[in-house]
Amino acid sequence: MHTKFYQPSQTLTGPAYSPWFKMLATVVTVALAGYGVSFALRYALVDYSWGVRLLFIAAMLMLALSYAGFLRSEVTIDAEGIRQSWLWNRQASWNEIRSAKLIGIPLAGWLSPPRLVVRTGNAFTTFNGGTPELLAEFARISLAYQIKP
């Protein structure tokens, strides 16, 4: 029988990435897409094999999908666990979590806030928080699982 070690006080849902991070993703995406178009015009992709063309199209498609994922990704913390939507969904139920730690990138906290890294069995899952409320809940989760017996 598993008991739930942590229970949030309320269900919390919010964006996984902050407005600053989304703005940076927009700038980088526009720059990469512009470079891709420039490359395609300079090197006339029609002169290359289908393999090269398909690789180029796949790269541009992955860029677009990643960008859409950054803009739409949401994190939900509820009685069941933590979930984050993206290109593929990540989730961890409270029963599965063995430890949790809040980590950040040194000297880049202004750009990318700390992330919650959750250990479930032999796997690690990372969750992003784009609002102060989510980050505060991440801190409570991290504290609760640091002292887990």
Q: What backbone torsions phi and psi does residue 73 show, to the nearest 5 degrees?
A: -60, 135
103 shares a domain with 54: no
Q: What is the pTM of this model?
A: 0.81
> Is residue 57, in this structure, part of any structural domain at all?
yes
- Domain region containing 119: 12-17+74-146
> Is residue 51, in this structure, part of any structural domain at all?
yes
Among 72, 90, 97, which residue's Cα sits nearest to residue 126?
90
In angstroms, the CA 117 to CA 141 distance is: 10
133 shares a domain with 83: yes
> Is residue 37, in this structure, part of any structural domain at all?
yes
Per-residue pLDDT of the chain (149 residues; tens, 9 = 90+): 455 677 888 899 999 998 988 999 999 999 999 999 998 888 887 788 899 889 999 999 999 999 999 999 999 999 999 999 988 899 999 989 989 999 988 877 667 788 999 998 889 999 999 899 999 999 999 988 876 55
88 shares a domain with 142: yes
Residue with tokens 């393999």: 51
H/E stretch holding 3 reads none
142 shares a domain with 110: yes
60 shares a domain with 80: no
Sheet (strand 123-128) strand order: 97-103, 115-120, 123-128
